Chain A
């Protein structure tokens, strides 16, 4: 039987080889478990959406396969004063529609990314003034010295001013509010690929852009790229096994062995930088979706500790992640903070958890609603279900609502914030702790600080440290401040970090690509052999 199959396969391969046209069309088909929420690069600060758009748009800088900063639309930069950075823009770069890239586009993009409705306002946090020196030179002035000013700019994509104005797309579109404009479905970037066609949640087709400024160094050999979202784990695996697609991620952890064992498919696995955590609402005076009225149990530190200690991350690692996760004591990956090993994760202790709940006045527990995505992170819904069962053991009745990420993000993110208890993942775009502190730990404020601190954890000491971390230039002192801030957060039991999930991409054996630890998939590294 096996021999016949092999023979049949060989015949098929030969037939394929003879049928192939001389001038080769290299179509690369791949699948992710969901779709990009929007093509507007400022709509949603989410890795997949930004990653897909990173093939179409470019920032002033970019990251290589080892996540090192490289010049992109800015050829070079220098710090002329501690609070003034000068960027020299690349000349001769053209957008996909032929428009020239210049300083006005940078100024326009800076205004747009900071405008109401943008989910990426924090990319320019602390920038007080942007000065056009000439057509290809721009100065950024900050309120305090900021040694990592451009660290997150690889995903601050530069848009074309003329195109945006001509198409009435000068305002960023907030997906959580369901807003749309021309830029939601159309693109005009400077990147190596153009969007040829797109049906949301069905198919997105990209074509290489011949006029790309870096075409001389291009690594890919693609003529067409087709991205289809496939949410069902087994369908995605079947599509890769059958050769219907060339690459897909994430590989469901339960199917890794199967894909590794198949001679036609490979699994690329590694630790991802993303930290998966549970957040608890500490901001509302009365907890939503709960039977506790008139107060918010999560404001009591004992309740938060009780929740923390009720969750058995080792069991989640063993059974749900099948060993492919690293339980975490911190809200950041150990690869991104040198002193991570000084933190120990508090132990799983359901007895202590029950005792703490009783002390806090909930001897029989209480009811609370939980929000969870079901197509965003590796086994997200299964993790939530397990957490629900674990909390049931200490008497807390959790009503789980697992939804696709589009509905999920729209429900929980600020300003709507319609949640009490939720699961979220975070990769700091700058690969630095300040991003984590500023976005998800610091007290939410109007200027964009704490924008993703959905639960509203708040501690003035942490806020103060966060501000200092941004401008501190001495690495050792800076690490100490970061250490103190994380320590304070853990002492407050502000969040429940769960783990760093494993990164697992599946591909056909004839595909070459580079896997970045931030889980962004860059098509210009892809070769179809």
Chain B
């Protein structure tokens, strides 16, 4: 990691170096990680190519037939081969709904991680590099926010943003887009602290190093030093956090949707599917809630395992 900033020429070199390196070796050594990566990849592919791989389009209301509702999974007595995992109360194919739902969940997850990452890195760099009052201010803000559970902060932001859009109809956003924007904002804004604190710590370490001082001496603009010299060297831990935060963001989205302040049921995410299915916990239609629940659990577990492995692999002390 220490030599990451000494760039070598050649297009394939980084790849070759990666395959020869410790990280790839440790990846190959751990079957759990390989499995988790495979599962995560599967989810990403399914999400990316959802409309092509899903057997039905659950968002196309014109194709739903109420008479197809509540059909059990295909292998059960009253199952229908058209619907592998059965259908929900509106006649939506569960498998397709889960594929489309993962798509929504991952999209919101990625977008909110990106938002909190950009915000957290910017504030962390600034805080560590400038120091003084700026540092104190940003870190106190971070501590205040850390003292609240993230989901509470997300709910608060959610309420404020929805209120804003409701009183400002000139934005002309439809319900679904609004729900997406609100979710990304609320999850993104409630999770920047981890990034900021990590980046600030690494920045403090890097700031005193010779290459930074050399850059200062030859008169490079401080902003450029931050972005070109320090940032690449603090990215390792950020990637680890981002991976784990992706899992947390997916859960946060599911939680908010489960609480009914997330994605509307006409275009469900995994959380919305679980909420809808929750009504059928006692009535025997277990597939409406169990499958989306399992899909969410497996996705989060796989991403978390990847994050864990990445943390260990990038930690020189554990190598």
Contact = CB atoms under 8 A, between A and B. Distances in A.
A312 interface: yes
Interface in B161-189: 174-175
Contact of B266 (A232, A312, A385): A385
Contact of A392 (B61, B69, B282): B61
A382 B89 contact: yes
A395 to B, nearest CB: 8
B141 interface: no
Interface stretch (B109-117, B195-203, B225-233, B273-281): B273-281
Interface size class of B (residues with CB under 8 A): 20 to 34
- Identify the interface centre among B65, B278, B279, B284: most chain A CB within 10 Å of its CB: B279
Interface size class of A (residues with CB under 8 A): 20 to 34
B147 interface: no
Contacts of A400: 264, 266
B66 interface: yes
A214 interface: no
Interface stretch (A251-259, A331-339, A470-478): A251-259
Interface in A294-344: 312, 315-316, 318-320
B175 A401 contact: yes
A389 B279 contact: no
B66 A254 contact: no
Given A257-B283, A312-B66, A320-B66, A385 B278 contact: no
A316 B61 CA distance: 16
Interface string A229-265: 0001110011001000000000010110110000000
Chain A contact surface mostly: helix
B155 interface: no
A406 interface: no
Nearest to A386: B66
Contacts of B278: 232-234
Interface in B27-43: none
Given A320-B89, A386-B90, A315 B66 contact: yes
A388 interface: yes
Contacts of A252: 279, 283
Given A254-B285, A255-B283, A393 B89 contact: no
B62 interface: yes
B236 interface: no
B66 A316 contact: yes
A395 B264 CA distance: 21
Nearest to B90: A385
A399 B90 contact: no
A390 interface: yes
Contacts of A241: 282
A524 B67 CA distance: 43
Given A238-B282, A388-B266, A399-B174, A319 B61 contact: no
B265 interface: yes
Contacts of A316: 66
Contacts of A381: 265
Contacts of B90: 382, 385-386, 389
3 interchain residue pairs of minimum CB distance: A392-B61, A254-B283, A392-B62
Given A234-B281, A319-B70, A319-B89, 13 more contacts: A232-B278, A234-B282, A254-B283, A258-B284, A312-B66, A316-B66, A319-B66, A319-B69, A385-B266, A389-B90, A393-B62, A395-B62, A402-B265
29 contacts: A233-B278, A234-B278, A234-B280, A234-B281, A238-B281, A252-B279, A252-B283, A254-B282, A258-B283, A316-B66, A318-B67, A319-B66, A319-B67, A319-B89, A320-B89, A382-B90, A385-B266, A386-B66, A388-B61, A388-B266, A389-B61, A389-B65, A389-B66, A389-B90, A389-B91, A392-B60, A392-B64, A393-B61, A399-B175
